[in-house]
Structure 1
Amino acid sequence: MRDILTDLGEDPSREGLLDTPQRVAKAYQFLTQGYAQDPKAILQQALFAEAYDEMILVKDIEFYSLCEHHMLPFFGRAHVAYIPDGHIVGLSKIPRTVEVFARRLQVQERLTLQIRDAIDEVLQPLGAAVVIEAQHLCMMMRGVEKQSSRTTTSSMSGEFEKHRTRTEFMRLVQASS
């Protein structure tokens, strides 16, 4: 970090920058704490046998992540659904799972798949679906500089690959809160 400050033409020994390298290191440790967490273990902590077999949707899960290409933030909302097959998971575990994967250097496409795959593997539902809508500062602050652009990714498995179920999921995601 000191080298970067010097390359920018700054003086790393200047009062305001003296502790910047340590602050940046702490910030990146926090922003990438997902590497030290196991999302599957989080889901397994709160599995409950239940005969419910309709869609469960947790939507508008805020997340913040870092683009692995530029290490600039991207942020938005994740919408996660599954159809249980004998087991449900504590609702708070779904946003925690999103958070663990988001707190790693990421691309939005991989983030979407990782969330879906973890739910599929641990819950073994009849199907799972994830839609992520995000804004990327690497596109807003640099490069094409398009401040209003949003990127949407989705991944579906099982019952969500059927048109009717997918349509219901998308309708519920788009419904106003």
Structure 2
Amino acid sequence: MAVDRERIAALVRELLEAIGENPDRPGLRQTPARVAESWTEFFGGVGQDAGAPLQHTISVTRGPAPDTLPSGAVMVRDIAFRSMCEHHLLPFRGHAHVAYLPGEEVVGLGALPRVIDILAARPQVQERLGEQIADAIDSALDARGVLVVLDAAHECVTMRGGRQPDASTVTIAARGAYLEPAARAELIALIGARA
């Protein structure tokens, strides 16, 4: 389903009027259209298949480099993401760290950020986002384990309410071998390690 830009623009105009503003004044005249354009980007993942980027897999034993079989986890750290909190429609943004323990199939490393982009471009809560990322990877690959750690700052915490500008939220979603805390300890340590 495509985002209805015209309807969003009309509703933003009405919202501006509801807060006592004049949507026809020079500074606001283009705001409804601008918001509609930005929401098209922010919510472009609604209805998209998050597993699509994971459909092209590579066999680790029959693939292009069978002599380089991974003996441990494959991890991509510091994947920047942004999403919109479904509670206040305020942004949250941060970094995702994703690891999986390959079975017979692996994916190109660029596929993991694309999965995150699709799932984050929906009204979200961070806890569900991490679980959805883990589920997408777990169901698309024959991974023996999946770990997703999200660290994000939420504007509903930093800009309103308690106004904690330095607060961030960390969530962990695990599947398979990484359900066991001892099994994921090394990966958690690697997330914080810097060369």
Same structural fold, with TM-score higher than 0.5 when normalized by the shorter chain: yes
The within-5 A match list for 1:53-68 is 53-68=71-86
2:29 equivalent to 1:18 = yes
Match of 2:122 in 1: 104
Task: Please say if 1:93 is aligned against 2:115.
Answer: no
| 2:169 alignment partner in structure 1 | 151
C-alpha change, 1:10 and 1:161, in structure 2 (3 Å) is same
Aligned partner letter, 1:161:
L
1:39 aligns with 2:50: yes
Higher mean C-alpha deviation, range 4-13 or range 139-148: 4-13
Which of 36, 58, 77 is residue 48 of structure 1 equivalent to?
Answer: 58
**Shift in Å, 1:15:** 1.7
C-alpha distance in structure 1 between counterparts of 2:126 and 2:157, whole Å: 13
| Aligned residue type for 1:160 | Y
In structure 1, runs of 5+ residues without a counterpart are none
Deviation at 1:161, TM superposition (A): 2.1
What is the aligned partner in structure 1 of residue 9 from structure 2?
none
Unaligned runs of 5+ in 2: 1-11, 62-68
Sequence identity of aligned pairs in percent? 42
How many residues are paired up?
A: 176
Q: CA deviation at 1:36?
A: 4.3
Report the 3-state secondary structure (helix = DSSP H, G, I; strand = E; otherwise coil) of the residue aligned with 2:45: helix
Match of residue 3, structure 1, among 14, 28, 53: 14
- Match of 2:154? 136
Could you tell me how far apart the structure 2 residues matched to 1:27 and 1:161 are? 37
The offset of 1:54, in angstroms, is: 1.5
Amino acid at match of 1:49: S
Q: 1:114 aligns with which of 128, 132, 152?
A: 132
Aligned Cα root-mean-square deviation (Å): 1.2
* In structure 2, distance between residues paired with 1:127 and 1:73: 30
Question: Which letter does structure 2 place at the counterpart of 1:17?
Answer: L
Using the TM superposition, give the Cα deviation of residue 162 of structure 1 relative to its aligned residue in structure 2, in angstroms. 2.9
1:144 maps to a residue whose letter is G
Structure 1 stretch 18-27 or stretch 105-114: which is displaced more? 18-27
